[in-house]
Amino acid sequence: MTITDALIAEHRVFTDLFDHIEGVLPTLTTLAEVKLLAALVGHLLQSHADAEKNLAYVALDHALKDKGPVERLHQDHHEIDASLAQVGSARRLPDACRLFKAAIAAGREHFQREEQSVFPLLEGMLERETLAALGAAHARLTVES
């Protein structure tokens, strides 16, 4: 499995999780429930983002003269993290729900941006063996964490 295959598979899991959260969010009745769910998503996304940054983005960063695409992805990660942190700081349930929905939307947009522009770029720049080696490294990191 290549690194892009692994990351896309994780995107599918997150998309399913986001769908589920969007379905249950209106039924939650306490601020603590929303904050707990947002913290869980934040933790899971952090592991995913670490793999992207430390495996896929590093390879792109060395190969690209124009760092714009990689910088945009880093910016996406910071924005998603900030949105989830705001959920944790919210004082009212409606505000927390709104912020959580915004973080989910930003996550979906980020995944789409990666899959449509960055991953094909990565696949065009690196040999299949390199992509597979990065995928194996990702699998080892996933098992260890």
Distance CA(46)–CA(20), nearest Å, equals 19
For the chain, the domain total comes to: 1
Judge whether residue 141 has pLDDT over 90.
no
Q: What is the pTM of this model?
A: 0.89
Q: What is the DSSP letter of 116?
A: I
CA dihedral 133, 51, 58, 100 (to 10 degrees): 150
CATH of the domain at 10: 1.20.120.520
Render pLDDT for 13-47 as a digit per residue (tens, 0 to 9): 999 999 999 999 999 999 999 999 999 999 999 98
Q: Tokens 């260890």 belong to which residue? A: 144
> Which structural domain range is residue 127 located in?
3-144
